[in-house]
Amino acid sequence: MRSACAAGGVLGLRLVTGCGRETTDSPAPAAPVAVQLGEPVHESSPIVAAEKYFARKVGELTMGRYQVEVNAGGALGADSRVTEMVRTGRVAFCKTLLANLTAYDKRLGVANLPYAFSGREQCLESLNGELGRRCAAILEEHDLVVIAYFYAGDRHFYNHLRPVHTPADLKGMRIRAPQNIVSIDMINALGADAVPLATNDITSALQQQLIDGAENSVVFYVTEQHVSFAPHLSWTGHQQAVDVLLGSGSWLAGLPAADREAILEAGRLTQVEQVRLWNAATADHIARAKKLGAVPGDADIPAFRKALASVLRTQRGTFGDLATLLPETD
């Protein structure tokens, strides 16, 4: 028997990994099998478009034996809950921020360090290389298989109180933080008060002014309708967001070998398509943000880098040798 699960790679490179368990060549299902994919973001996001592409490819490559149903908008629950359902085999697939998986291994927060990458290309190159392979191997130990890495754009601060040009402008603001220690430390280091919240809780928190702002990509800012409640958008570009489409190792291990390989091939194709969809959407969403009332402003990037230097110093040791795989940035 063999253990063979592979994650797709951007630009056609393969990230080869194992399921962490022995697999059997089970017979093909007699009838189409419907499986679930949990997604926290809104239906209109290009991330969801990529997941629907994945669903189509799974159907095509397995000749209709598997039907992936994409559940957007947090329909299956919060990120952490759905990820655990995938790990235990109750759900086949989910997508989450890579850094949110630090509950399984703290080293998975490495790509979330502020200004770790100079931009999109450097981020994608790292995901295609040893950094991406090592993160996939870590997740495999927890029965989570990397189906694809998704590039989720550069992240910026936005709020309802005032323009933010320097870290001093964030002082005292209640800013939503993803539920991982790097993001929490980063926001606190800038003088704001980090408020950890699940993805599908942010919009209501902004609407009720339980928080003053958040930080994310401009695509997320528009598709989640945050622009309606936090018009001050600051081009800080403090992180390159890395999402990951995960499959259940236990579920995949029980599939016929041909079906398992077809699903992994669908993931490789999806990783390439997701980057294309994201790139096409970005300029459009910047224009839409302005039409919807956003007031974008430039940020003093050197000042933000300086303020976040302590986070880099403190957190780099957390990630062990994975930190050495980050590229050199200016």
Report the interhelical angle of 301-316 vs 181-189 (nearest 10°): 140
Same domain membership, residue 299 and residue 172: yes
Amino acid identity, position 200: N
Provide the domain limits for residue 26.
Answer: 5-152+241-284
Same domain membership, residue 101 and residue 164: no
**Gap between the Cα atoms of 238 and 305, Å rounded:** 8
Same domain membership, residue 148 and residue 71: yes
Residue 189 lies in a domain: yes
Same domain membership, residue 298 and residue 181: yes
The pLDDT of residue 31 is: 81
Same domain membership, residue 206 and residue 265: no
Same domain membership, residue 221 and residue 206: yes
The list of the chain residues with pLDDT below 50 reads 1-4, 6-20
Same domain membership, residue 196 and residue 175: yes
Same domain membership, residue 273 and residue 142: yes
State how far Cα 271 lies from the chain centre: 12
Residue 327 lies in a domain: no
Domains in the chain, number:
2
Same domain membership, residue 129 and residue 248: yes
The pLDDT of residue 11 is: 38
Considering the entire predicted model, what is its pTM? 0.89
Report the interhelical angle of 130-140 vs 120-128 (nearest 10°): 60
**Gap between the Cα atoms of 31 and 25, Å rounded:** 17
The pLDDT of residue 21 is: 54
Same domain membership, residue 135 and residue 161: no
Residue 317 lies in a domain: no
The pLDDT of residue 27 is: 75
Same domain membership, residue 57 and residue 103: yes
The pLDDT of residue 314 is: 84
Same domain membership, residue 267 and residue 118: yes
Q: What CATH number corresponds to the domain at position 254?
A: 3.40.190.170
Residue 321 lies in a domain: no
The pLDDT of residue 312 is: 83
The pLDDT of residue 22 is: 55
Residue 328 lies in a domain: no
Q: How many CB atoms lie within 10 A of CB 67?
A: 13
The pLDDT of residue 328 is: 78
